[in-house]
Structure 1
Amino acid sequence: MPTAAPQTTDELYQALRENDERPYGRTRTVTAEELVDAAEQFEETRPLVDALLELQEAYTYGSEPRKSPVVFARLLTLFDEQPDVFDERLRHLLFWRFKWVANALRALPEIPLASLRQWLTEMRDRYEKAGLDLQPYYGQAYQLAAHIGGDTALAYELWAGRARTRLSDCEACEICERALYHLAAGDDERALRAWEPVLAGKESCQEEPARSLSYALLPLLRTGRTDRARELHLAGYRGCRRNPSMSGEIGRHLEFCALTGNEARGLELLAENRNLFAEVDSPQDLFDFLTGVEVLLQRVELLGHGELPVAGYAGRTWTVAGLRAEVRDRADDLAARFDARNGTTAHTDRRRDRLDRAPLLDALELTLRTRSLDDVAPVAAPAARTAATVPDSLPELICQARAWDEQGHPDAQACWARLRTLVAARDYTHPDDQAVGPLVRLYADLLADEASRTGEKDEFADAVALHEEAAGLYDDAGLPGHAALARACALLAAAEIPTEDADGAEAKAAALTAAHMSLVRLHEETSGLAPYQEARLLRLRATALGLRLQTSGSEEHVAPALAEVDLLHGFATRHDAVGQIAGALLLRATTYALSGDLPAALTETDGLLDRLRSHGPAWHLPRTLALRGRLRLGLQDPQAAHADLAEGLRLAADWSADVVDTSRLHAELAEVCMHLGRPDEALRHLTRSAELDLRRGSRFAAYCTYSNAAQLSLDLGHVEDCIALLDSLLAEPDVTAGELDDRLVAQLRLTRARALHAGEDLKAATVELVALAAESAGWDDDPGSHAMIAAETAVLLGKSGEFGRARKAADQALAAHARAPRYEYLSNSLRELARLQAQQQGPDGLADARAFLADAGRIADEARAAEYEAHGRSLETALAYEHGRINAYAGAYEDALTALDKALTLLGEPGPEQDRAGEWAECVRLAGAVEGIYLERPAPALARLDAAVSRLTALGHTEETEPLTSLAAQLRDEE
């Protein structure tokens, strides 16, 4: 909105131009209203006409149909009173917008049908008086007939049979109307054939292809084109999200989700478009939107999730069932109002048809983030194997939990969880049973279990406190062995608490050494330990030294770690502790792996797997297979690694995610798949890994993995998948509330901006990058990242032709680069900016383009002084080539040729390697074109080209000779 009312017509037109850049919505509309008020102060009529046209556009595309006809009436009055003010362009706009008014009146059930027909008569009379063809009038007459319902064949023929005129709706809009006619007749195939130019992106306008895409989704499904439907859902939804004037389209996307087993995504999209409940002022658009919402909510409720929370009208909390009832009443009322106005039952019938549709597919994977309704429930329990024999009797339950806990059996977790719920109840009564023991012991058991789970989440300080509290309770219960074991766990957890020490690894290694010494002392000082308790203490001792080796990587720490493992293995063997024997063997294999002896680690793992398959315990199998998979990958055998990890993942399904780190298995399979050249499979594993982390509360890790998945999806060219995934993540509550790490969020947004750019949505990509550049300017601890973001922003601004803003962004990048050099990235960006400016502006842009190259030249000098090695060609070579290219664009051909000859000298003659040959050939080609075509010196140009062809042919680079041979032939033809 303007900070002050424009005082001159120049200021008014500048404000109108700025408002035209804003997205449609309240801000743009309110500003347009203010500019109309400002325009009325001027004596000239033309500024008022332009301001009124902008206001009508804001109302039309801001879903305010009640106001659009009022503005148009003023325009029509001005036209009648002062026709000379309206030049050819304004006359065209005025007569074009008769259709806008017809659309607006049709969308308002309070406007009588007679008034709609009267307006069409007015349109016809005006067109005839102006000598205009009536095809646009017949188009509106057909749309009114289709709106009312009944037989539309004659109205369709009167419109569709006429030739298009300059005032006809755009080709894309007319294609959509023809397709909808065939769709209403039940002919999906003919409708899709009619739609093809729009669906293929050959025809578009303000509302297209988003409108057509939303209508085409169900016909595509019904005709078996599921992949195409998925693709168009992703692209189409992005084109209309949060847009009040496209609320009907959003309703159809919600319906599509409901009919393809994607109810959870539908609820996610509904939440993202919650603003539409308040911002849609068009009854017709609202009717279409609410009906789509009801289709979704009806499906969710039918699946038994009526109590799920859902985003709805502001001011209260909604459940699916409650919002469905509200939406049903409002949509029924709208249908009744339209039908009463139209004298038909068309709107009620259309509503019933949509609500009566059965799902078209049980499940269609729409996005990389596939979730079910269970996943979006307030407490989404991860899928896990239910403990087979959890006793119902409380004393038996307590005894079973302890027995399984002693064995390390994973089903102990289900018992502890059940007991935690029972003990928390107000009416809990502890059994008076000597085998169960006192209540204080049960409290200690529950605390110890909670402490272990807390430590597994790397919340070590909390784990220490819980273990210490459990130890105190065990003391109170007269169980010194249990207390010692709890204190031992606390010692190890305390050693893992991160420190602020400058050398964190050294400090942690020292802490683990001290912890090991304390564990040994505690072990020696505690008498009366049960065998399972002593085995656990030995396991903790071995684990402490294994962690120390992992932290330090020191060879001197290998032998002590193996010695402790041997102690554990010997003790466990003597007492036939099956679980601890497996644990010792796993620790031994891991120790060899940490020492770098992968063959020895693999041998140990093979032996462990044989033992586990014959003696158990089975729950160690997935983890051991995962270790062998990692070892085989390290030994350059990705195929075998994939087999191990896949088997581990299959076996992991028998256990809960708390027992087997299924998320890590998926992540490791993704890495192996990349080694095998199977990126699509890798992508599936990455997304599954991330979603599992989300479900168990490891949100930072989940977002990091999803970030990698988004980047891989973009690398694979799956642009819409990438954008849909990132849109979903960025809408998560902890992201919108600012609770997630800001740099990670910035990375997600940066990838999204790049995906938008790749999807040719340059405007949206630029908006995102400009915002990121502004935010990253405050990253005093990371100026290098700001330099790269600002440089990337500058390039996008250059592609949009905004070179003034691009220059400012480039200056920001250079200032940050001075603090944290990014030589190659900045050089590449500056050269690209120079090329864009010279290419778009020709000679007028040459001076500014050269200024960008001068900056790139200084960076090349800095890089050379810092002995920086570029990844590809040298920065000097790239710079010389770019000087040649921008001078050629700007018509400075002699300068261009000099620069290209310098680039060829810097490149040197090509050799057998493939990469330099192509670069050298392209430089020769451009030099030949400048010299032979633009400088009109074909003889030396041909000599240059022929020599290059001979050189490349002799080296076997025949493919690189083709553009040179083609140019030479062109020059000879012109001689």
Structure 2
Amino acid sequence: MPIAPHPQSTAELFQALQENDRRPYGRTRTVTAEELVDAAEQFEDPAVLVHALLELQEAYTYGSEPRKSPVVFARLLTVFDEQPDVFDERLRHQLFWRFKWVAHALRQLPEIPLTSLRQWLQEMRERYEKADLGLQPYYGQAYQLAAHVGEDTALAHELWAGRTRTRLSDCEACEICQSALYHLRAGDDERALRAFEPVLAGKESCKEEPARSASYALLPLLRTGRADRARELHLTGYRACRRNPSMSEEVGRHLEFCALTGNEARGLELLAENRNLFDEVDSPLDQYGFLTGVEVLLQRVELLGHGELPAAGYTGRTWTVAELRAEVRGRADDLAARFDARNGTTTHTDRRRSRLERAPLVESLELSLRPRALDDVAPTAQVAAPAARPVAAVPDDLTELILRARALDEEGHPVAPACWERLRTLVAARDYAHPDDPAVGPLVRLRADLLAEEANRAGNKDEYAESAALHEEAAALYDDAGEPGHAAVCRASALLATAEIPAAQDADGAEAKDAELAEVHAAMVRLHEDTPDHAPFLEARLLRLRVTALALRLQASGDKEQVATVFAEVDRLHAFATRHDIAGQISGALLLRASTHALSGDLPAAVTEIDALLDRLRAHGPAWHLPRTLGLRGRFQFGLRDAQAAYDNLAEALRLAAQWPADTVDTSRLHSDLAEACMHLGRPDEALRHLTRSAEVALRRGSRVDAFCTYSNAAQLSLDLGRIEDCIALVDSLLTEPDVTAGELDDRLVAQLRLTRARALHAGEDLKAATAEFVTLAAESAAWDDDPGIHAMIAAETAVLLGESGEFDWARGVADQALAAHDREARYELLSNSLRELARLQAQQQGPEGLPGALAFLADAGRIADEARAADYEAQGRALDPALAYEYGRVNAHAGEYEDALAALEKALGLLGEPGRDDVAGEWAECVRLAGAVEGIYLDRPAPALTRLDAAISRLTALGHTEETESLTSLAARLRDEQ
């Protein structure tokens, strides 16, 4: 990718070098660096070429291209030998520092003879001695070579670690990692972990640390029983190295960690995310480390019987786990042999064998909020239906199977779907022969049965259009089979499914829905009357559909005048089902009666009805209705604000649901409701677990939009709980789903996930990554003409992050985008808060020089406040006008305009009024504190400042706001001490 425009001066070239330095390591940065070297050679100034060569060597080193790094350094060394005056102190330091980079690069290449590696170290030593530089860095490289070759490292370690560090020594974090690895290779996990701790605790860091140390510490932590710490380091460490060619070894160790903790499915997911490393890692030593970690994972997956699963591997073809493992094994074995041949030892083959022979260290360690098993990633994975209750197995005899399927379906038994599924497979076979048995009936009847069951499943997934079409098709086949009762039920079901297809949610749409459902009920009544003499179970189904249509109408309209009509239909169904002893429909009628009470607003009556139903179900069944009924009782208890009772009912419903096949009860809804109960009970961590379980169940059922919405809520909750890395890992996992990467999922839902991730990155103080994500989202959302409010929100947050990075010109442009979107769809409070924060950041970072820009942001915030006041808008948080006045005070104080600051703060106090209210007292006290500091310290007028502070302390104390007086008392004491 050529540079544009080509640098025409050394100043432009230096600017281009700075811009390239901000790019992530990879091909774009490397190619640009190569072109900048070509450009530098056109100028006569050798210093320009030196800077360009240094940038190129860095790109090669951190872009995992070790073969090219020594070549560039040789050019630098030639310039230094011929023109040493070109190198100022900083450039000279850079040159001698990079002797270590070359030593590292040569170790990575098995084609470089061992004698050449030792010769280079001798060259480094002689150069350092000639320049009167300490030799500790040389001994550090000598130790690393010994460890690489597999020699006895005790002496080499002592010669390095026992020497005093110099300015050219590796950073503290890197040296700590090397010392820890010395103990780790000696088999002393505890001592290694103690050595790692300063880096893992964040006390020492660099470009590659603590991510590198974290990857090495994972297994020792498991071996010493510190699984929670290992999990934490996996989340933070993996994110820092993923997709990074220069840290492919670290990625391999994270894959190995997944394989040894029962997280094989998570490992395959991470492998797919790092597929680029198969092709972008040019370092043979890094390839060896990465591929060995990959093989540990693939070996484990194959050992568990899933060698046929797809796996992400080398580009150009698709791979199964077994195929990729064979390919990886061959390549890694060859690399290990080449290094051992070069080094004259068996070290790399032995280390590789040791990793591959490790057994899992824990049976199961939950690494993410989205626990998955290998069955979940299978191409045709089906959710197993747990059936703890003793139910009859699916018959092998075809006639018996058909009759049993119909009998179970008649009573609504949860095993019926398994029978239908078996029949669907048999009927689809080429050699299917239909039984010649009058009890079974013709093949067309069976085909109608299968279509009707498929239609019901589509309706349960809210695929109403598909359900309606299938029901109509089934009805036609039932007509052909001479089954008018079944045909009537299917046509009534099609009417109801059509009515449930979502429509526009405006006032006219609501009225239309009410009229549609009224007509659906009328059509069902006509259909019922036109087809008399049904079997009792079919008659009951028609009556049930009639009630359901009226109940949906009442739910949509909220018109309580319809309640009596619904109850009349419920009573008709209940009486009929009782007369014919149809247990499932008796239960259904009672459930609809309770629901109707709830819809009418009479929750106590709803609970009374449902309690009677629960008593009946426990005594007479059907038992599979209990989970759904308990779930509904739990939701009623929410309405009565009894979260504990709701929790107890929902938890019992979930326990009972586990006794039946998976689709019998909507456990996704039960988990979701339990999450709500947990939040009301102050148990957010348990709520988070239920949210993720709810989402995963929905995902397995094919309800992907519902699943992703729930996962989005879980991600936000994890962020609210401060579980930042869990939040990021969850969203990253979701964003790798095939329909997301293919752009098939709703773009707004995906954007919400990415927005949550960006906020988590910000909360985790990864400002660079957060800003990059926000900038991308802001650019994408600018095209959402149907939703300018969302763009205003994203652009406003993006502008603040750019301000935190000091990019105020860029922030200004993005803030203007937010303001333009706000003009189309008002976001008063959001924009005001963001503009005030931008003003504070600019004044704080730039002082007087940033005052004009800061005041411009505040002027925009003032316009927003004026608009809000005119629209009678009430802020949910701080009132906009006093908050704006306070920010004028703070901005002017940062810029040294203390009189203006004091005037603004006094205006803010006037706007706030008396501090009696709890929601005002803190803000009022802060205004007084800042005014006192400006007046007493910066304007050197302590007497009036103390008068102000003492009066405020007395007022707040009298009003009972003693906590708010603490900062004022502290400032007053300081002013008195300085008088």
| TM-score of the two chains, using structure 1 as the length reference | 0.99
**Quick one: structure 1 residues 309 and 574, their matched pair in 2 at CA, closer, same or farther if it must change by over 3 Å?**
same
Match of 1:723 in 2: 728
Please report how far the alpha carbon of residue 508 of structure 1 lies from its aligned counterpart in structure 2 after TM superposition: 1.5
CA contact (8 A) 1:499 1:507 kept: no
The residue type equivalent to 1:662 in the other structure is: T
CA contact (8 A) 2:451 2:474 kept: yes
Structure 1 position 599 matched with structure 2 position 599: no
Structure 1 position 97 matched with structure 2 position 101: no
Match of 1:287 in 2: 288
1:650 aligned to 631, 655, 673, which one? Answer: 655
Match of 1:471 in 2: 475
CA contact (8 A) 1:12 1:35 kept: yes
Please report how far the alpha carbon of residue 542 of structure 1 lies from its aligned counterpart in structure 2 after TM superposition: 0.7
Structure 1 position 534 matched with structure 2 position 539: yes
Cα distance in 2 for residues equivalent to 1:694 and 1:557: 37
Structure 1 position 483 matched with structure 2 position 487: yes
Match of 2:429 in 1: 425
Please report how far the alpha carbon of residue 964 of structure 1 lies from its aligned counterpart in structure 2 after TM superposition: 1.3
Match of 1:799 in 2: 804
Match of 2:623 in 1: 618
Match of 2:139 in 1: 138
Match of 1:317 in 2: 318
Match of 1:334 in 2: 335
Please report how far the alpha carbon of residue 909 of structure 1 lies from its aligned counterpart in structure 2 after TM superposition: 2.4
Structure 1 position 560 matched with structure 2 position 561: no
SS in 2 for 1:871: coil
CA contact (8 A) 1:498 1:504 kept: no
Structure 1 position 752 matched with structure 2 position 767: no
The residue type equivalent to 1:329 in the other structure is: G
Deviations 1:210-268 (A, max 9, x none): 10010011111111111111111000000001000000000000000011110000000
1:736 aligned to 728, 738, 741, which one? Answer: 741
Match of 1:947 in 2: 951
Cα distance in 1 for residues equivalent to 2:504 and 2:914: 54
1:408 aligned to 398, 412, 421, which one? Answer: 412
CA contact (8 A) 1:498 1:508 kept: no
SS in 2 for 1:239: helix
Match of 2:864 in 1: 859
Please report how far the alpha carbon of residue 354 of structure 1 lies from its aligned counterpart in structure 2 after TM superposition: 0.6
The residue type equivalent to 2:891 in the other structure is: I
Cα distance in 1 for residues equivalent to 2:826 and 2:309: 51
Match of 1:52 in 2: 53
The residue type equivalent to 1:961 in the other structure is: T
Cα distance in 2 for residues equivalent to 1:901 and 1:486: 74
1:708 aligned to 694, 707, 713, which one? Answer: 713
1:777-856 matches, within 5 Å, as 777-856=782-861
Match of 1:393 in 2: 397
Please report how far the alpha carbon of residue 908 of structure 1 lies from its aligned counterpart in structure 2 after TM superposition: 1.6
The residue type equivalent to 2:641 in the other structure is: Q
Structure 1 position 64 matched with structure 2 position 65: yes
Please report how far the alpha carbon of residue 388 of structure 1 lies from its aligned counterpart in structure 2 after TM superposition: 3.4
Cα distance in 1 for residues equivalent to 2:861 and 2:499: 50
1:548 aligned to 553, 568, 571, which one? Answer: 553
Cα distance in 1 for residues equivalent to 2:618 and 2:313: 54
Please report how far the alpha carbon of residue 497 of structure 1 lies from its aligned counterpart in structure 2 after TM superposition: 2.3
Structure 1 position 173 matched with structure 2 position 194: no
CA contact (8 A) 2:657 2:667 kept: yes
The residue type equivalent to 2:234 in the other structure is: H
Cα distance in 2 for residues equivalent to 1:609 and 1:525: 36
1:842-921 matches, within 5 Å, as 842-911=847-916, 913-921=917-925
The residue type equivalent to 1:504 in the other structure is: G
Cα distance in 2 for residues equivalent to 1:890 and 1:486: 76
CA contact (8 A) 1:287 1:331 kept: yes
Cα distance in 2 for residues equivalent to 1:338 and 1:908: 77
CA contact (8 A) 2:386 2:662 kept: no
Please report how far the alpha carbon of residue 21 of structure 1 lies from its aligned counterpart in structure 2 after TM superposition: 1.0
Cα distance in 1 for residues equivalent to 2:882 and 2:876: 13
CA contact (8 A) 1:215 1:252 kept: yes
The residue type equivalent to 1:432 in the other structure is: D
SS in 1 for 2:431: coil
Deviations 1:707-762 (A, max 9, x none): 00000000000000000000011111101111011111111111110000000000
Structure 1 position 670 matched with structure 2 position 671: no
Cα distance in 2 for residues equivalent to 1:470 and 1:864: 61
Cα distance in 1 for residues equivalent to 2:488 and 2:852: 78
Deviations 1:544-601 (A, max 9, x none): 1011111111111111111100000000000011111001001111111111111111
Higher deviation after alignment, 458-467 or 407-416 = 458-467
Cα distance in 2 for residues equivalent to 1:608 and 1:963: 60
CA contact (8 A) 1:68 1:101 kept: yes
CA contact (8 A) 1:488 1:540 kept: yes
Cα distance in 2 for residues equivalent to 1:624 and 1:513: 27
Cα distance in 2 for residues equivalent to 1:499 and 1:184: 66
Match of 2:205 in 1: 204
CA contact (8 A) 2:295 2:325 kept: yes
Cα distance in 2 for residues equivalent to 1:750 and 1:449: 41
SS in 2 for 1:714: helix
Match of 1:301 in 2: 302
The residue type equivalent to 1:239 in the other structure is: A
CA contact (8 A) 2:30 2:56 kept: yes
1:769 aligned to 774, 781, 786, which one? Answer: 774
Match of 1:9 in 2: 10
Match of 2:451 in 1: 447
The residue type equivalent to 1:223 in the other structure is: T
SS in 1 for 2:241: coil
Cα distance in 1 for residues equivalent to 2:320 and 2:471: 41
CA contact (8 A) 1:932 1:939 kept: yes
% identical equivalent positions: 80
Unaligned runs of 5+ in 1: none
Match of 2:926 in 1: 922
Please report how far the alpha carbon of residue 504 of structure 1 lies from its aligned counterpart in structure 2 after TM superposition: 2.1
Higher deviation after alignment, 592-601 or 248-257 = 592-601
Deviations 1:148-178 (A, max 9, x none): 1131000000000011111000000000000
SS in 1 for 2:544: helix
Cα distance in 1 for residues equivalent to 2:88 and 2:488: 94
Structure 1 position 381 matched with structure 2 position 382: yes
Please report how far the alpha carbon of residue 956 of structure 1 lies from its aligned counterpart in structure 2 after TM superposition: 2.3
Match of 2:938 in 1: 934
Cα distance in 1 for residues equivalent to 2:837 and 2:41: 46
Give RMSD over aligned pairs.
1.0
The residue type equivalent to 1:22 in the other structure is: R
Unaligned runs of 5+ in 2: none
CA contact (8 A) 1:481 1:530 kept: yes
SS in 2 for 1:879: helix
Please report how far the alpha carbon of residue 963 of structure 1 lies from its aligned counterpart in structure 2 after TM superposition: 1.4
Structure 1 position 512 matched with structure 2 position 513: no
Aligned residues: 974
Please report how far the alpha carbon of residue 501 of structure 1 lies from its aligned counterpart in structure 2 after TM superposition: 8.1
CA contact (8 A) 2:124 2:138 kept: yes
SS in 2 for 1:380: coil
SS in 2 for 1:260: coil
Deviations 1:73-101 (A, max 9, x none): 00000001111110000000000000000
Cα distance in 1 for residues equivalent to 2:961 and 2:165: 53
Match of 1:355 in 2: 356
The residue type equivalent to 1:37 in the other structure is: D
CA contact (8 A) 2:26 2:63 kept: yes
Please report how far the alpha carbon of residue 657 of structure 1 lies from its aligned counterpart in structure 2 after TM superposition: 2.7
Match of 1:274 in 2: 275
Please report how far the alpha carbon of residue 527 of structure 1 lies from its aligned counterpart in structure 2 after TM superposition: 2.4
Deviations 1:954-974 (A, max 9, x none): 222222222111111111111
